[in-house]
């Protein structure tokens, strides 16, 4: 393993020295999150008509399948969802709220030299500017390789804590688990008003990344960084983000700078705001006679 790490470091430094003093690259990433868990919740539900199921699946596809653009230079990058025209009413109500928590919206700026990131978020018609330190993952470099496009990529793995405001990793709780909780008397008033009561949110997940030392930039999609080469693919089990296009030394330069609009908060503070507001929405929905259903908000 030490020999592999030394060899990669040498390749990284050699490639870096061959780069021009000023350069910029652009990568297109396709992000897909599995919806199998959520679709299974609709199976056997008599309240969900075929028409409703079709509508829900179409909106889920929009939330869980996205295209992002990463513009980068030697030390910084901006990662932003590709802008698309929405159909009338397609992004309204609760689905707009949910879409913002499925990895979309805003500009994600990373500076690997300062080890900081800035991302602007819109939540419940309010603008936030999350400014914090880049998460430092303990990457384990492997020897396994594969081709992504024209580039040879190496495998790396790490354990990553899950953000409380990122619901892509939420899994519907199995009926057996909910019945067991009820038996133990855990269905208290506080439990019932928790909008995540019907879901399991893991505290941490295993990440598999594929990076290429041929592009010696410690960058990648979303918050990922810290490897001796550009990350072209990330897989956390439910979400796969893969590079579909890569252009080096782009002619049309993009200004790579941090967004500035919004109330400045730390990541933990933003997570707490989101969770609290979602719980308030769930309580309001229940008080209006709605059925208890965790994520149902689009009324």
Kindly tell me if the per-residue pLDDT of 131 is higher than 70: yes
Kindly tell me if the per-residue pLDDT of 165 is higher than 60: yes
Q: Which single residue is written with the structure tokens 């295209």?
A: 67
- Give the residue, 170 or 240, on which the prediction is more confident: 240
Q: Which single residue is written with the structure tokens 């539900």?
A: 45
The CA distance from 287 to 32, in Å, is 35
Pairing of strands 126-133, 263-265: parallel
Kindly tell me if the per-residue pLDDT of 147 is higher than 80: yes
- Give the residue, 40 or 269, on which the prediction is more confident: 269
Total-model pTM: 0.75
pLDDT single digits (tens) 214-264: 999 999 999 999 999 999 999 987 889 999 999 998 788 899 999 999 999
Per the CB < 8 A criterion, the answer to whether 12 and 229 are in contact is yes
The CA distance from 11 to 192, in Å, is 55
Per the CB < 8 A criterion, the answer to whether 139 and 218 are in contact is no
Report CA-CA distances (Å) from 35 to 7, 62, 269: 40, 11, 28
- pLDDT for residue 68: 95
Burial of 54 (0-12, 13-18, 19+ CB in 10 A): exposed
- pLDDT for residue 293: 43
- pLDDT for residue 204: 87
- pLDDT for residue 166: 78
Mean predicted confidence (pLDDT) in 152-163? 94
pLDDT single digits (tens) 4-48: 555 555 555 555 544 544 679 999 999 998 766 565 555 656 676
pLDDT single digits (tens) 41-88: 556 566 767 777 677 667 767 777 899 999 999 999 999 998 766 544
Spell out the domain ranges in the chain: 2-287
Q: Who's near 210: CB < 8 A, 6+ residues apart?
A: 146, 148, 153, 154, 155, 156, 231, 232, 233, 234
DSSP 253: -
Q: Which single residue is written with the structure tokens 């960084």?
A: 225
The CA distance from 188 to 181, in Å, is 10
């Amino acid at each position: 393993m030490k020999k592999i790490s030394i060899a990669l470091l040498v390749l990284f430094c050699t490639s870096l020295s061959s780069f021009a003093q000023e350069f910029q690259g652009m990568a297109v990433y396709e992000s897909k999150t599995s919806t199998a868990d959520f679709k299974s919740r609709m199976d056997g539900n008599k309240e969900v008509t075929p028409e409703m199921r079709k509508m829900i699946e179409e909106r889920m596809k929009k939330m869980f399948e996205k295209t992002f653009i990463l513009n980068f230079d030697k030390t910084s990058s901006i990662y932003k969802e590709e802008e698309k025209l929405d159909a009338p009413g397609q992004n309204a109500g609760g689905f707009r709220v949910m879409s913002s928590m499925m990895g979309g919206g805003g500009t994600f700026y990373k500076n690997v030299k300062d080890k900081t990131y800035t991302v602007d978020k819109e939540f419940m018609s309010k603008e936030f500017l999350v400014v914090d330190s880049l998460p430092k993952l303990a990457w384990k470099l492997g020897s396994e390789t594969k081709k992504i496009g024209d580039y040879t990529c190496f495998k790396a793995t790490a354990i990553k804590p899950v953000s409380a405001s990122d619901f892509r990793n939420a899994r519907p709780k199995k009926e057996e688990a909910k019945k067991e909780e009820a038996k133990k008397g855990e269905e208290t008033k506080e439990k019932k008003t928790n909008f995540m009561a019907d879901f399991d949110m893991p505290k941490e997940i295993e990440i598999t990344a594929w990076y290429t030392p041929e592009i010696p930039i410690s960058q990648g999609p979303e918050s990922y960084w810290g490897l001796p080469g550009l990350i072209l693919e990330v897989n956390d089990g439910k979400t796969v983000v893969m590079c579909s296009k890569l252009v080096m030394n782009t002619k049309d330069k993009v200004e790579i700078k941090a967004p500035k609009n919004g109330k400045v908060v730390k990541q933990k503070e933003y997570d707490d705001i989101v969770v609290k507001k979602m719980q308030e929405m769930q309580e309001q929905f229940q008080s209006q006679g709605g059925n208890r259903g965790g994520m149902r908000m689009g009324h």
